[in-house]
Amino acid sequence: QYLIEIKNLNKIYSDGTEVKALDGVNLTIKHGEFMAIVGPSGSGKSTLLHILGILDTPTQGSIIIDNKNITSMSDKERSKARNKMLGFIFQYHNLLPDFTALENVMIPLLISGYSKNEAKESAQNMLKEVGLEDRMYHKPGELSGGQNQRVSVARALVNNPTIVIGDEPTGNLDTKTSDRIYELLRKLNRERGQTFILVTHDENMAKKTDRIERLIDGKIVNS
Ligand code: ADP
Ligand code: ADP
């Protein structure tokens, strides 16, 4: 039983010239996996990530997440599925600069309809899990790169998504800070059992995950 089943995925961009960004991608991912997708620039990583994240649709092929066929959903259903099932961690933590760490982490909960008190309590607990209990009332400008990335991780996970997608989650951090963020993601995967899919250039980090899938020219190659 797979959590994610991607079959024969093609993505063609055709604004002017045609670009086949994904070419017959097949991929199955189980519940709780901790994996990396690596590949050179232009190999289709972002395209695959956007489709996996229900942010974009393929030209051909199907994607089934948690027994639901994403490709046959309406925009509204896709948006609902995305908000319920996915958490995103970006390279450049796009936190809101005028809000505290706590408020940034509360936002997804407020959007999901939790009361302010419920959101605050869950966000505080999540910030504790990422080791930021002392920094909850600071704004992004008052936190280090690594601390801000922890806030991003907390924000991505606070709604308890089934799947956590990291787009170069340690991309702009120094080696030591990257290692610590990696350890944090690993700990959260172990403790919470969520599925982590990390797109990365960082071979060192990729090697530490349980599974590496390589993309070249829009195709998954066996390593
Ligand atoms: P990666 O993330 O591995 O760098 P991308 O998925 O961004 O790869 O890109 C894969 C290919 O698709 C590249 O050739 C890129 O130029 C092309 N591409 C990506 N997005 C678009 C777009 N919106 N329109 C046209 N071509 C695109
Ligand atoms: P909705 O249609 O539900 O308002 P949005 O398009 O605003 O959804 O985004 C929903 C989720 O997808 C948010 O968590 C947001 O951070 C994430 N998201 C939006 N755009 C991108 C993107 N280009 N790459 C990765 N994640 C994105």
pLDDT digits (tens, 9 = 90+) for 77-106: 999 999 889 999 987 768 999 999 999 999
Does the pLDDT at position 180 exceed 70?
Answer: yes
Q: How many CB atoms lie within 10 A of CB 94?
A: 12
Q: What is the pLDDT of residue 191?
A: 94
Average pLDDT, the chain: 93
Which ligand is nearest the CA of 52, by number? Answer: 2
Give the DSSP H/E element, type plus range, for residue 35: strand 34-38
Q: Work out the pLDDT band at 223, boundaries 50, 70, 90.
A: low
Q: How many CB atoms lie within 10 A of CB 32?
A: 15
Please state the rounded mean pLDDT for residues 30-39: 96
- Write the DSSP string, 94-153: ---TTS-HHHHHHHHHHHTT--HHHHHHHHHHHHHHTT-TTSTT--GGGS-HHHHHHHHH
Task: Considering only residues 162 and 203, tell me which one the structure prediction assigns the higher pLDDT.
Answer: 162
Q: Atom 17 of ligand 1 has which residue's CA nearest to it?
A: 21
Q: Which residues contact residue 106 at a Cβ distance below 8 angstroms, ignoring those fewer than 6 apart?
A: 116, 119, 120, 123, 158
Does the pLDDT at position 60 exceed 90?
Answer: yes
Q: Atom 7 of ligand 2 has which residue's CA nearest to it?
A: 79
Q: Atom 26 of ligand 2 has which residue's CA nearest to it?
A: 88
Q: Work out the pLDDT band at 220, boundaries 50, 70, 90.
A: very high
Does the pLDDT at position 10 exceed 80?
Answer: yes
Cβ-contact 156, 164 below 8 angstroms = yes
Q: What is the pLDDT of residue 81?
A: 92
pTM above threshold 0.90: no
Q: What is the CA radius of gyration of the chain?
A: 17
**pLDDT tens per residue, range 42-57:** 999 999 999 999 999 9
Task: Considering only residues 201 and 131, tell me which one the structure prediction assigns the higher pLDDT.
Answer: 131
Gap between the Cα atoms of 41 and 219, Å rounded: 13
Q: What is the pLDDT of residue 203?
A: 87
Gap between the Cα atoms of 189 and 196, Å rounded: 7
Substitution site in 25, 47, 197 for ligand 1 pocket (most atoms within 8 Å of beta carbon):
47
> Does the CA dihedral 23-58-160-164 come out positive or negative?
positive
Q: Is 55's C-beta closer than 6 angstroms to any atom of ligand 2?
A: yes
Q: Is 47's C-beta closer than 6 angstroms to any atom of ligand 1?
A: yes
Please state the rounded mean pLDDT for residues 23-31: 97
Cβ-contact 126, 157 below 8 angstroms = yes
